[in-house]
Amino acid sequence: MNSFELAITVQPPDIDGQGHVNNVVYVRWMQDAATAHWEAVAPEELRSRVSWVVTRHEVDYKAPALVGEQLVVRTWVGEPSGATWERFIEVRRVGDDRVLARGRSVYAALDRVSGRPRRVDAELRKPLEG
């Protein structure tokens, strides 16, 4: 498994009325980690031809995160199917390594020129699978 990690510091705007990170922020972090992973491993030429759009997000919230905490968002890909590819995400608190959230997203690959779905073939798989 070729995973990628994104460091996060919880900021005051991330906090909701309950005093912890809002659920929508976790979804943003999921997408930020997926984007950063793609940008870190895919060649520029490939990134210029292919974009990804979310078709589904699932999140299981395990424990709250609070302002100022240091977190790690870890992501990796699962199984592709046609033009879609599942991606997994885990958010952990650095201090105690506690899992705060787990997620699964489904992304569709799009050809940037036509805007049409594109099969997740060996060319797309290679950078993300290692």
Q: How confident is the model at residue 2 (pLDDT cuts 50, 70, 90)?
A: confident
**CA distance linking residue 84 with residue 110, whole number of Å:** 9
For the segment 26-75, what is each residue's pLDDT rounded down to a tens digit?
Answer: 999 999 999 999 999 999 999 999 999 999 999 999 999 999 999 999 99
- Domains parsed from the chain with CATH numbers: 4-129 (3.10.129.10)
For residue 77, the SS3 value is strand
Helix (H) or strand (E) holding 57: strand 50-61
| CB contact at 8 A, 54 and 31 | yes
Q: Please determine, for residue 21, whether its predicted confidence score (pLDDT) is greater than 90.
A: yes
Closest listed residue to residue 75, CA positions, set 90, 63, 60: 90
